[in-house]
Amino acid sequence: MNQNLNTSFFADFLHDEGLEFAIFDAEGRLIQHSGGLVDFLMVPVDGALTGQKLSHLFPELIGYEQSLQDVQLGAQPGLQIERIHRGDLRGAPGYVTFHIRAYQGGWLLVARNVTPEGQLEQKVTQQRNELSLLSGQLKQARTQLDDLLRRFVPSAVVDHMLTDVTKTQLGGERREITVLFADLRGFTNWSENRDPEMVMDVLNQALGGAVSILLKGGATLDKFMGDALMAVFNAPLAQTDHATLALRCAKEICINQKLSKNLRFGIGINTGSAVVGNIGAAAAMNYTALGDAVNIAKRLEELTAPGQILVGPRAHELADPQIPRVPFGHVKLRGRQKPVAVYEVQC
């Protein structure tokens, strides 16, 4: 059998396919090659290529000595190195794929110029990395926006709107809710002769403590009104024990107040039918509750002394009887013709 390839036929065939070849002996020296092989070399070569070492002509193969030996001995069918990135030295291809097989005691190396594919892959990888970076930035921005939004809009309302876009429209629905009003009794008089910065610090401390308890207890914070706040239960998310939750929150707020005995929250709680939803304009709206049940809760709060909790009849009826409370009496509330049965939660 002829030990030499028909160079002309083989080289022309490979060249038509965008390939060049090189044959190395058992010591890794070049003994035969196609004419276009020189275009694949990264290193300058003085004189003839024949006799040059494999690792010198193709330094990318340094480190593959064991694999080359396994190929030569038949322990490995071949070695294929995909899309090696190369520089532009001597105009060599930017990306090359090597296919290496055992041949006549040495190796047959077939080199393919895959620069277009390599450049496309690099572009796709770059775009993927850019998209990943952009996705991370968008995720971070969304997290920051979500955190910012929840500082001004109750978290329960935000979650409700994100799951149902119709909840971002004006209007609402009628349902039974429990409403809680808390006013920092004596704060207006206390703040008259004090620095505004100190007034704000104390107010934020008091409101912050109450809000923390309310949110932990399942309330939806409706609004702040100077030194007072309004919260609702059973809206926008349903809570079967909404009256109990409200009384528990009120009791905890009462117990945890530490400002002074004369600077404490007075809390009014009432349960009844109300319309809950968005009011305002399409460009600016607030989630709130409207109705007589809300008005009664506010009137009860107006009756309270510092550290006192007053509860309307329906809230008293629904709430857990284990929460201590006593009759306060039938009270004529402002704006109502008939007296209302009121109960006081023992703080």
Span 206-223, pLDDT tens digits: 999 999 999 999 898 889
- 117/12 Cα distance (integer angstroms): 23
Provide the 10 A C-beta neighbour count for residue 131.
11
- φ, ψ dihedrals at 108, nearest 5°: -110, 120
Start-end ranges of CATH 3.30.450.20 in the chain?
A: 7-113
Q: pLDDT tens digits for 30-77? A: 998 887 787 777 666 666 888 889 888 888 888 889 998 988 888 989
Length, in residues, of the chain: 347
User: 53 with 28: CB under 8 angstroms?
Assistant: yes
Element housing 109 (H / E): strand 106-113
Distance in angstroms (rounded) separating the CA atoms of residues 252 and 266 = 13
CATH code 3.30.70.1230 for 172-345: yes
Report pLDDT digits (tens) over 171-187.
788 999 999 999 999 88
The CATH architecture that domain 7-113 belongs to is 2-Layer Sandwich (3.30)
**Tens digits of residue pLDDT in 314-334:** 999 999 999 999 999 999 888
Contact between 324 and 337 under an 8 Å Cβ cutoff? The reply is: no
Candidate from 12-26, 149-163, 169-183, 261-275 with smallest mean pLDDT: 149-163
pLDDT at 1 > cutoff 60: no
- CA distances to 24, 74, 137, 175 from 270, in Å: 93, 87, 45, 14
Direct distance between the N- and C-terminal alpha carbons of the chain, in angstroms, rounded to an integer: 106
Q: Residue 288 forms beta bridges with which residues?
A: 277
Range(s) for CATH 3.30.70.1230 in the chain?
172-345
Task: State the pLDDT at residue 156.
Answer: 67
